[in-house]
Amino acid sequence: MSVRNIFNLITQSSIYGILALGMLLVIVSKGIDLSVGSVLAFAGVVAGSLGQTMDAFDRMFPSLPELPIIVPIVIALLLGALCGAINGGLIAYTGVPAFIATLGMYTAARGAALMYTSGKPISSINESITFFGSRLFNVIPVPVIIYGIMIIITFIIMNYSKFGKSVYAIGGNINAAKISGIKVKRNTVIIYAYAGLMAGLCAIIFMGRTGGSIQPAAATGIELTAIAAATIGGTSHSGGIGTVWGVVIGALILGVMANGFTLLGINAFIQQIVEGFIIVAAVVFDMRKNKIKH
C-alpha cells in the first residue's frame, strides 16, 4: 500500500487503460477492435523513426534534419486515427464484420511495422519523448496525468455529447438509430478512429516509458487486455451498455492482479490464464444479467 507502489500500479495500467477507453466506444456500438496493439506498434515505429537524434547509430533517415518532438507526436496520433478510420470505413461501407476488418488490420499493421523497421528496434529517439514516461515534479507519473485527462474527455464525450448518445443508440438498436436520423456509417468511422487515436497516444507513452525506443513487436496482445478491462468493467458485448468509470475499474482490477502477482512472485504466465478465466466469467455474468432483464 505504499504511495510508490500505488503510482506504479496506475502507471502500468495507464496504457491499456487508455486503449480500453477507446474500446469502450467500440464495444458499446456492438463492435470489437483487435488491431489496437498492432496499430500502437506501427504508429510508434514510424513516429519514432522521425524523432531520432542526429547522432543515432542506426538512424533510418540519415539525410533528414532532426525534427522537433511535436512532429513524431502528431504523426503517431494521425497514423493511429487513420488506421482506426480505415477499420471503421471497412465496417460501415462494405459490411465486413468488425472482427474480420480489425483482424485484418491487426495483421497488416504488425506486418507494416516489421517491414518498415526490417524487424529492428527504433532507438535514440529525441530524449524529450521521455517526458511522457517521467514523473511531474518527480512525484506524479505523466502517464497517469494523461490517463486522467483522457478519462475526463471520454466521459464528456459519452455522457454530454450528441455523438456519445449516438454511440449508445447504434449499439442498442442500429435499425432504430438509422430511422431516428443518426448517421450510423459516419459515426462508426469516428468510433474506430477514436480507438485508433488512443493507440497512437499510447505509442507516445510507450516510447516515453522505454527511454526513447520502440520495437515493431511492441504491445503484442495488449488489445486483449484492453478488451478484458472494458468487459470486466461491465461494458456489454450485446451493445448499448457501458460506462467510463466501469472501464477504469476494470483496468484497475487487472492492474491490481498483475501487481499482486508480481509482489507475490507468482509466475507471469499464470496471470494470463487467470485473466482468460476472468474475461469468460465477466461475459457469462453479462449474458445472464441481460437474460434476466429480458
Strand partners, 52: 125
- pLDDT given for residue 176 in this prediction: 95
pLDDT of residue 267 exceeding 90: no
Residue 80 CA to residue 76 CA, distance in Å, equals 6
CB 172 within 8 A of CB 240: yes
Residue 187 CA to residue 140 CA, distance in Å, equals 36
- pLDDT given for residue 292 in this prediction: 61
pLDDT of residue 260 exceeding 70: yes
CB 183 within 8 A of CB 189: no
Residue 265 CA to residue 267 CA, distance in Å, equals 7
**Residue 90 neighbours by CB distance under 10 Å:** 21
Which residue do the cell numbers 496482445 mark? Answer: 221
Nearest-5° angle of CA 13, CA 253, CA 19?
Answer: 40
CB 87 within 8 A of CB 196: yes
Q: How confident is the model at residue 266 (pLDDT cuts 50, 70, 90)?
A: confident
Residue 213 CA to residue 133 CA, distance in Å, equals 12
- pLDDT given for residue 290 in this prediction: 64
Percentage with pLDDT > 90 across the chain: 67
Arithmetic mean of pLDDT, 233-248: 92
pLDDT digits (tens, 9 = 90+) for 67-116: 999 999 999 999 999 999 999 999 999 999 999 999 999 999 999 999 99
pTM: 0.93
- pLDDT given for residue 41 in this prediction: 97
Q: Please state, rounded to an integer, the average pLDDT across all residues of the chain.
A: 91
Amino acid at 272: Q
Helix axes of 244-264 and 142-160: crossing angle, nearest 10 degrees: 150
Arithmetic mean of pLDDT, 280-286: 78
pLDDT digits (tens, 9 = 90+) for 20-31: 999 999 999 999
Q: How confident is the model at residue 203 (pLDDT cuts 50, 70, 90)?
A: very high
User: What three-state secondary structure class fits 141?
Assistant: strand
CB 16 within 8 A of CB 42: no
- pLDDT given for residue 78 in this prediction: 98
- pLDDT given for residue 84 in this prediction: 98
**What stretches of 44-175 adopt beta strand conformation (E)?**
135-136, 140-141
pLDDT of residue 282 exceeding 80: no
For the chain, the helix, strand and coil percentages under 3-state DSSP, each to the nearest 5: 70, 5, 25
CB 77 within 8 A of CB 201: yes
